[in-house]
Amino acid sequence: MFEGKNGKINSEIMEDEIGDNHIATTATTPLRDDAFEVSDTDKMLAIEENMAQILHTLGMDLTDDSIKGTPRRVAKMFVQEIFSGLNPKNMPKASTFDNNYKYGEMLVEKNITVYSTCEHHLLPIVGRAHVAYISNGNVIGLSKMNRIVDYFAKRPQVQERLTMQIVQELQRALNTEDVACVIDAKHLCVNSRGIRDVASSTVTSEFGGKFKEAATKREFLDYIKLETSFE
187 is catalytic: yes
107: nearest Cα among 137, 133, 136: 133
Instruction: State whether residue 138 is helix, strand or coil.
Output: strand
Catalytic residue flag (residue 130): no
Q: How far is 7 from 13, CA to CA, in rounded Å?
A: 10
**Axis-axis angle for helices 142-153, 159-174 (nearest 10):** 140
Handedness of CA 149, 152, 70, 58 (dihedral sign): negative
Active site residue 81: no
Catalytic-labelled residue, pool 119, 157, 169, 181? 119
β-strands 124-134, 96-98 pairing: unpaired
| Residue of 48, 109, 120, 206 with catalytic role | 120
Q: Which of 171, 204, 156, 118 is nearest to 30 (CA)?
A: 156
Q: What whole-number distance in Å separates Cα of residue 71 and Cα of residue 56?
A: 11
- Among 48, 109, 187, 206, the active-site one is 187
**Which are the contacts of 155, defined by CB distance < 8 A and separation ≥ 6?**
29, 83, 85, 86, 116, 117
Question: Which residue of the set 22, 48, 121, 165 is catalytic?
Answer: 121
Is 171 noted as a catalytic residue in this protein?
A: no
- In the annotation, is 119 catalytic? yes
H or E stretch covering 10: helix 7-20
Annotated catalytic residue within 22, 48, 109, 118: 118
Kindly state the helix (H) or strand (E) to which residue 124 belongs, with its residue range: strand 124-134
C-alpha dihedral over 94, 43, 27, 96, to 10 degrees? 0
User: Is 120 in the active site?
Assistant: yes
The catalytically annotated residue of 159, 169, 181, 206 is 159
Active site residues: 118-121, 159, 187, 189
